[in-house]
Amino acid sequence: MKKWYVIHTQTGFENKVKTNLESKVQTQGLEHVIGQVLIPTEKVSEVKEGKKKISERKFFPGYILVEMDLTDESWYLIKNTPGISGFVGSGNRPIPLQETDIENILKQQEDKTVKPKPKIDFTTGESVRVKEGAFANFNGTIDEVNPSKGKLKVMVTIFGRSTPIEVEYWQVEKI
């Protein structure tokens, strides 16, 4: 029965390691021992030069997940794939992930690919400058953060009074 294992790779080379591993599995005919190779990612949105851009970011940089039946053959294949440092676990024997953990990771990845999350995280009390909209070039302080909607309530000073305005993440920048 196949279980999920976490494999440590060189950071930034996860995609190359995945490709190498998958080609080795096919070349050596080990599809019955090694199943899926997964790099958990999420989509993030950011605004550059006034244009909204969506890119992918890895949940766990430097790690990939492999669904496999742990045998001497599969262990040897993993250990001898370029870019792989080894299994995550204590001692000489790799420890598989719990079913609930892998289900949570897979669910989290599905959720994050449907709705991109902003690349920049904001916190209450931070100072920001409004870049676009009716209040462009106003400075203010974040009063509320609503990550599910991608909106902020920012307190700006207008005519000597502190006034709340609602803006989207992409309309402001940190000072």
Q: What is the dihedral of CA 10, 60, 40, 46, to 10 degrees?
A: -110
**pLDDT at residue 164, rounded to an integer:** 93
Residue 76 main-chain phi, psi, to 5 deg: -65, -40
**pLDDT at residue 171, rounded to an integer:** 85
Q: Are 33 and 73 contacting, i.e. CB atoms less than 8 angstroms apart? A: yes
Can you list the residues of the chain whose pLDDT is less than 50?
Answer: none
**pLDDT at residue 156, rounded to an integer:** 94
Q: Kindly give the interhelix angle for 14-27 and 72-79, rounded to the nearest 10 degrees.
A: 140
**pLDDT at residue 118, rounded to an integer:** 60
pLDDT in tens, 4-42: 999 999 888 999 999 999 999 999 999 999 999 999 887
Of 99, 110, 34, the closest CA to residue 66 belongs to 34
Q: How many residues does the chain have?
A: 175
Structural domains of the chain, with CATH:
3-117 (3.30.70.940), 127-174 (2.30.30.30)
